[in-house]
């Protein structure tokens, strides 16, 4: 049984933890044709406490800790990544740039449009990330732009700047290319 973003949100909200669901699940909220993904990515202000809450809620999980993420697995397969907000300025910003959506009867915190787009930009321009993952991030980035003609470009620029110095300007150029129907280089 896969653990859903709703499952994760319920467990963390019940424990009164501040969190935001990110990654493909968050991107799916901003596109007309969501894509499939298996694991749930979440940023929590207290990642170790979030890990403990999730391990208690889902006893089939095991945990592996890394500097950027606490990976929770089912049978050796990624199920939940609890991202440490201190590992990146964009992750810290996601906690403060969120909105609440309702799925069924559950309220789920996700990043604002501008923040999820900036996070996709940061991921697709991270040179240490595997190329297929960067390409998926670029596809998500383009789909989000195509589905959201109105965007607070000033807010987006500020958030994309957290990816790297000059990132805000580079990201705005990429938006213009996508809107013009042209390819972007990652």
> pLDDT tens across 27-58, in order?
999 999 999 998 999 999 999 999 999 999 99
The predicted structure's pLDDT at residue 20: 98
Same-domain status, 68 and 142: no
pTM: 0.95
CATH number, domain with residue 13: 3.30.460.40
d(CA 51, CA 63): 8
Residue 186 lies in a domain: no
Same-domain status, 102 and 145: no
Full residue range of the structural domain in which residue 170 is found: 113-179
Domain total in the chain: 2
Q: Which two tokens stand for residue 138?
A: 């670029």
Q: Which of 1, 42, 51 is nearest to 22 (CA)?
A: 42
Residue 184 lies in a domain: no
**Residue after which a domain boundary falls, among 111, 145, 161:** 111
Structure confidence at residue 148 as a pLDDT band (50, 70, 90): very high
Q: Which two tokens stand for residue 120?
A: 């996709």
């Amino acid at each position: 049984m896969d653990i859903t973003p709703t499952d994760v949100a319920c467990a963390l909200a019940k424990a009164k933890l501040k969190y935001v669901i990110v990654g493909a699940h968050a991107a799916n909220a901003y596109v007309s044709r969501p894509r499939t993904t298996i694991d749930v990515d979440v940023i929590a202000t207290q990642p170790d406490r979030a890990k403990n809450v999730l391990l208690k809620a889902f006893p089939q999980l095991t945990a592996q800790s890394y500097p950027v993420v606490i990976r929770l697995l089912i049978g050796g397969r990624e199920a939940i990544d609890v991202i440490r907000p201190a590992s990146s300025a964009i992750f810290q910003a996601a906690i403060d740039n969120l909105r609440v959506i309702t799925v069924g009867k559950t309220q789920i915190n996700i990043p604002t449009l501008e923040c999820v787009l900036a996070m996709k930009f940061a991921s697709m321009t991270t040179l240490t990330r595997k190329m297929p993952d960067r390409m998926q991030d670029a596809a998500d980035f383009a789909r989000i732009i195509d589905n959201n003609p109105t965007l607070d470009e000033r807010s987006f620029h500020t958030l994309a700047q957290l990816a790297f110095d000059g990132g805000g300007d580079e990201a705005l150029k990429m938006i213009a290319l996508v809107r013009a129907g042209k390819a972007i280089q990652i």
